[in-house]
Amino acid sequence: MSLMENNMSIQADLERFPTRLHEDWRYFRMKKDELKKILDKGQLPQSGSRASFADAALRHPESASRKEAEALFRHNAFRFQEDTFSGLVQDYATPDILVLQGTSEVPEIVIATEKGREVHPADVRILLNPGVTAELTVQVDAAVADSFISAEIRVYIPENASLKLNLSSSAAEGAFAMVRTRVRLAENAKLLFSNLQAPAGHVRSEAHFDLSGKDAGLKLHQAVIAGGSAINDTVLKAIHSAPKTTSDMHTITYAAGKSRSSLNGLIHVKPGSEDVGAYQQAKNYILSPKAFSVGYPQLEIENQNVSCSHGTTMHSFDENQLFYLNARGIPSEQAKRMILKGNLDYFFRRMNEPQKKQFLKKSYAIIDALSI
Amino acid sequence: MKDNFTTINEDYKYGFSNPEDYLYKAPAGLNEDVVRAISAMKHEPEWMLEFRLKSYKKFMEMPMPWWGNQEIINAIDFSKIHYFVKAKGGTTWDDVPTDIKDTFEKLGIPEAERKFLGGVTAQYESEVVYHSMKKEFADQGIVFLDMDSALKEYPELVKRYFGTVIPFTDNKFAALNSAVWSGGSFIYVPKGTRVDTPLQAYFRINAKNMGQFERTLIIADEASDVHYIEGCTAPSYSADSLHAAVVELVALDGAKIRYSTIQNWSNNVLNLVTKRAAAYRNAVVEWVDGNIGSKLTMKYPAVLLKGEGAHGEILTVAMAGNGQHQDSGAKVFHLASNTTSRIISKSISKGKGRASYRGWVKTIPGAENCVSDVRCDALMFGDESRSDTYPRMEIYEPSTKLTHEATVSRVQDDQLFYLMNRGLSETEASSLIVNGFLEPFTKELPMEYAVELNRLVALEMDGSIG
């Protein structure tokens, strides 16, 4: 029996969603036939997600508090839209609830495919205790051609807790990764979200931040490096439903080769959310005549006491910058790579050093392989 | 401080209406017979009837736009609208029936014509009732006619350009307009001719449940220059009226067209307009678009930069008061190399009003060295107001330089403090701040319009703070 037989038709799903108000599926949709093929003949993985950490850093909740944790994640803020991808997770993945303990160790969760035709659904739910400061790295990698990952990551950050979440998503050529993240922030909760998307194949990443507690704050830094014939669709939503919440989202996209990249961003300030500060910035480097980039940053503001803004730039290299480096004896191609790497170094400056090094190492390797 | 807002309807000075006395009023509803009847009444050529019928078919097939205010547009009952209403008119001002003349006197049209306009067209319901142009312009070969007369007098010119910038398949309301269009302006400016003073059209809806579907086509031949202004008003009936115009501009090589609009419809008008310009080599097109009235406006003036070196500029201003949704914006497609564009959008939402900016900038592969700058600023007054920004940027060419910025905020307390500290009342201070906010727009209007707009803003802002 096909894995997909009990699920909705992927074809119908992708036809239905492209005109939704705040997002679009334009590039992911272009590959729907390939995706359907994988899903039709796909097989579930032998092993589940791998997690590397000491028990002291990340634990399953005690059986007494497990029900409480499950109830917490039933909140509307953690509900994903119903479609093939969430259906797959619901039917075939076991929810993995983990509690971050706030030790100095940074746990790492790896969700990866290991062979062709593997269809890997994953359901990860992360909790912190109030007042805890913690860091977590999640790697989603559809590492083999013709494989597919549908990952749902839910994170609840309670009062006065603070989390650094490092997410890295990639897909090999011909592979697909669908990464959906939903984070709910309670009063005075803080999140620093560092996200690296480096598809050689196709990645769609949806991140939804529900700032529902007073003084909750989000800082997001997302870098997309797409080369070859990669496809990258990103949806970022910051929903402010409490006073004095802040969101500060920065994205940088490098589109090289024949890659296609789209960014749908939304800042929504709900009525009654006084003194909200929200900012979104998107920088796009279009590095080849055949690379496409689409930006769709949106604001929906239903309260007057706000200070919200967004800025987008789309361009190639700054000639002055190149001239400066050329004049110092650095050849153009090297100068260009230097600029791209330098941008990222600045971009991920708020991460802790070991994790930042890990991100940059991965990014630099991809930048070195880009044809510029 | 007042608790309530002064909505435009309460103080809407154009909200009066005249008794309905028409030469012809089509029954409510749309079918092929109505389309044929409109065409027959106007003695149109066969190609136009075919165009109308094709458009009618497309209109019936096409879905409503998926964006914008779904609640309002999906509630439009097309079967209750009168698609064609012919009023009595005249060729000289004295021939115009007294009640219609009174209307335009109240709107200040003849006075404006004497003072600073090169020509004027006044459209009442579906057709133009008065039209004039200064003799010196006519002598230069400038054609400024209502669209119906142009189709009779310049059939080849109309046929060549009609529907080329906005095809009837463009969207549901463009298809509707293409099926039942009536009235509107036609302007042709010959090569190298400059029209020094603006040409103006004034559109007035008087009847209840009326649909006004004017069609405007402006062709600026090579190296010519023209400025066109349109104004719109309607009475404040409780039943909604529909205004679905189509405006096409063609700026040939080196030409310049500036198209200014002050839309001040009453709060019962749905203003769903398609405006688009084609700019050829080194041509310049400027849309200056002010939206103050209407219940819902969905209007996104567009420029297709088709020739190398062309420039498009779009300045839009929207004020949304209680019960109003101004969904306006701009669209620029860079289809040739070295083209440039600038979009400035300013919106103010107050009370329970909602202002949305919806924009689209695109460069196609091979259109090298295009530069585009987009700026949207929104001011908000009141806890129940809403402001949205939906820009879209599609760049398929690496040499493009595009920048986009948007901000949303309320009037800053320190600005108010500074002005009130110097003796201004809260209303005066907020009006001053808003006028300053709108300055990039008002400075582009002729003096008389800028003064009128500032006055309207002062009226709208009365009691808005708090």
pLDDT tier for residue B191 given thresholds of 50, 70 and 90? very high
Among chain A residues, the shortest Cα distance to B68 is held by A21
pLDDT tier for residue B465 given thresholds of 50, 70 and 90? very low
Higher pLDDT, B268 or B310: B310
d(C-alpha A49, C-alpha A113), whole Å: 9
**Which positions ≥6 away from A328 have C-beta within 8 Å?**
none
Report pLDDT for B115: 55
pLDDT tier for residue B35 given thresholds of 50, 70 and 90? very high
Report pLDDT for B433: 87
- Which three-class secondary structure state does DSSP give residue B21? coil
Residue A365 has pLDDT above 80, yes or no: yes
Residue B6 has pLDDT above 50, yes or no: no
- For residue B378, the chain A residues in CB contact (below 8 A) are 299, 301
- Which three-class secondary structure state does DSSP give residue B293? coil
Q: Which residue has the tokens 């103050």?
A: B292
pLDDT tier for residue B10 given thresholds of 50, 70 and 90? very low
Report pLDDT for A257: 92
Helices and strands: H and E segment counts in chain B? 13, 24
φ/ψ (deg, to 5) at A258 = -110, 25
d(C-alpha A234, C-alpha A263), whole Å: 5
What's the mean per-residue pLDDT of chain A? 88
Q: What is the interface pTM, i.e. ipTM, of the complex? A: 0.79
Q: Contact, A287 vs A316, CB < 8 A?
A: yes
Q: 3-state DSSP helix/strand/coil percent for chain B, to nearest 5?
A: 25, 35, 40
Which of B92-101, B177-186, B451-460 is modeled with the greatest confidence? B177-186
Of B197, B196, B214, the closest CA to residue B205 belongs to B214
Residue A145 has pLDDT above 50, yes or no: yes
pLDDT tens digit sequence for A161-192: 999 999 999 999 999 999 999 999 999 999 99
Q: Which helix (H) or strand (E) holds B411?
A: none
φ/ψ (deg, to 5) at A266 = -140, 130
Q: Which helix (H) or strand (E) holds B426?
A: helix B426-437
Query: Which of A287, A294, A301 lies at the smallest CB-CB distance from B408?
Result: A301
Shortest distance between the Cα of A199 and any Cα of chain B, in A, equals 19
Percent of chain A's residues with pLDDT above 90 = 57
Query: Which of B382, B400, B401 lies at the smallest CB-CB distance from A304?
Result: B382
Residue A259 has pLDDT above 90, yes or no: yes
Shortest distance between the Cα of A371 and any Cα of chain B, in A, equals 14
d(C-alpha A336, C-alpha A315), whole Å: 13
d(C-alpha A191, C-alpha A73), whole Å: 18
Among chain A residues, the shortest Cα distance to B365 is held by A289
Cβ contact B388–A298 (<8 Å): yes
- For residue A303, the chain B residues in CB contact (below 8 A) are 380, 383
Burial track B423-458 (b if 16+ CB lie within 10 A, e otherwise): eeebbebbbbbbbebbeebbebbbeebbebbbebbb
Cβ contact A309–B402 (<8 Å): no
Cβ contact B408–A298 (<8 Å): no
Q: Contact, A136 vs A107, CB < 8 A?
A: yes
What's the mean pLDDT in B319-338?
94
φ/ψ (deg, to 5) at A110 = -115, 125
Of A213, A222, A208, A311, the closest CA to residue A268 belongs to A208
Residue B466 has pLDDT above 60, yes or no: no
Query: Which of A302, A308, A310 lies at the smallest CB-CB distance from B386?
Result: A302
Residue A96 has pLDDT above 70, yes or no: yes
Q: Which helix (H) or strand (E) holds B197?
A: none
Percent of chain B's residues with pLDDT above 90 = 48
Residue A76 has pLDDT above 50, yes or no: yes
Query: Which of A288, A306, A315 lies at the smallest CB-CB distance from B408?
Result: A306
CA dihedral A220, A226, A231, A234 (to 10 degrees): 10
pLDDT tens digit sequence for B387-443: 999 999 999 898 999 999 999 888 888 888 899 889 988 888 888 888 888 888 887
Assigned token pair, A344: 């990222």
Query: Which of B66, B395, B404 lies at the smallest CB-CB distance from A286?
Result: B395
Q: Contact, A182 vs A218, CB < 8 A?
A: no
Among chain A residues, the shortest Cα distance to B388 is held by A300
Beta pairing class for A260-269 and B354-363: unpaired
- For residue A302, the chain B residues in CB contact (below 8 A) are 384-386
Query: Which of B67, B381, B400 lies at the smallest CB-CB distance from A314?
Result: B400
Of B319, B2, B29, the closest CA to residue B180 belongs to B29
Assigned token pair, A283: 């920088």
pLDDT tier for residue A120 given thresholds of 50, 70 and 90? very high
Report pLDDT for B268: 84
- For residue A315, the chain B residues in CB contact (below 8 A) are 400-402
d(C-alpha B66, C-alpha B73), whole Å: 10
Question: What's the one-letter identity of residue B423?
Answer: G
Assigned token pair, A365: 């390797």
Report pLDDT for A1: 42
d(C-alpha B442, C-alpha B450), whole Å: 5
Cβ contact A294–B386 (<8 Å): no
Q: What is the DSSP letter of B95?
A: G
Q: What is the DSSP letter of B307?
A: S
Which of A100-104, A355-359, B97-101, B339-343 is modeled with the greatest confidence? B339-343
Enumerate chain B positions whose Cβ falls within 8 A of a Cβ in A. 66-67, 365-366, 378, 380-410
Q: Contact, B102 vs B93, CB < 8 A?
A: no
Query: Which of A297, A308, A314 lies at the smallest CB-CB distance from B395?
Result: A314
Report pLDDT for B110: 58
What's the mean pLDDT in B289-308?
93
Among chain A residues, the shortest Cα distance to B356 is held by A300
Least confidently predicted of A30-44, A259-273, B17-31: B17-31
φ/ψ (deg, to 5) at A170 = -150, 165
Report pLDDT for B194: 92
Shortest distance between the Cα of B366 and any Cα of chain A, in A, equals 8
pLDDT tens digit sequence for A121-142: 999 999 998 999 999 999 999 9
Residue B325 has pLDDT above 90, yes or no: yes
Report pLDDT for B5: 34
SS (H, E, C) chain A: CCCCCCCCCHHHHHHHCCCCCCCCCHHHHHCHHHHHHHHHHCECCCCCCEEECCCCCEECCCHHHHHHHHHHCCCHHHCCCCCHHHHHHHHHCCCEEEEECCCCCCCEEEEECCCCCEEEEEEEEEEECCCCEEEEEEEEEECCCCCEEEEEEEEEECCCCEEEEEEEEEECCCCEEEEEEEEEECCCCEEEEEEEECCCCEEEEEEEEEECCCCCEEEEEEEEEECCCCEEEEEEEEEECCCCCEEEEEEEEEECCCCEEEEEEEEEECCCCCCEEEEEEEEEEECCCCCEEEEEEEEEECCCCEEEEEEEEEECCCHHHHHHHHHCCCCHHHHHHHHHHHHHHHHCCCCCHHHHHHHHHHHHHHHHHCCC
CA A3 to each of CA A42, A60, A207, B292: distance values in angstroms, whole numbers, following the listed order:
6, 29, 26, 56
Report pLDDT for B112: 57
Higher pLDDT, A238 or B202: A238
- Which three-class secondary structure state does DSSP give residue B34? helix
Of B199, B175, B141, the closest CA to residue B53 belongs to B175
Q: Which residue has the tokens 């309207």?
A: B456
Burial track B40-75 (b if 16+ CB lie within 10 A, e otherwise): ebbebeeebbebbebbbebbeebeebeebbeebbee
The size of the A-B interface in CB pairs under 8 A is 115
Cβ contact B408–A299 (<8 Å): yes
Burial track A47-72 (b if 16+ CB lie within 10 A, e otherwise): eebebebeeebbbebeeeeeeebeeb
Residues present in chain B in total: 466
CA B312 to each of CA B303, B361, B443: distance values in angstroms, whole numbers, following the listed order:
6, 11, 18
Of A88, A110, A90, the closest CA to residue A42 belongs to A88
Shortest distance between the Cα of B47 and any Cα of chain A, in A, equals 35
Q: Which residue has the tokens 């309905």?
A: B20
φ/ψ (deg, to 5) at A31 = -105, 20
Question: What's the one-letter identity of residue A35?
Answer: L
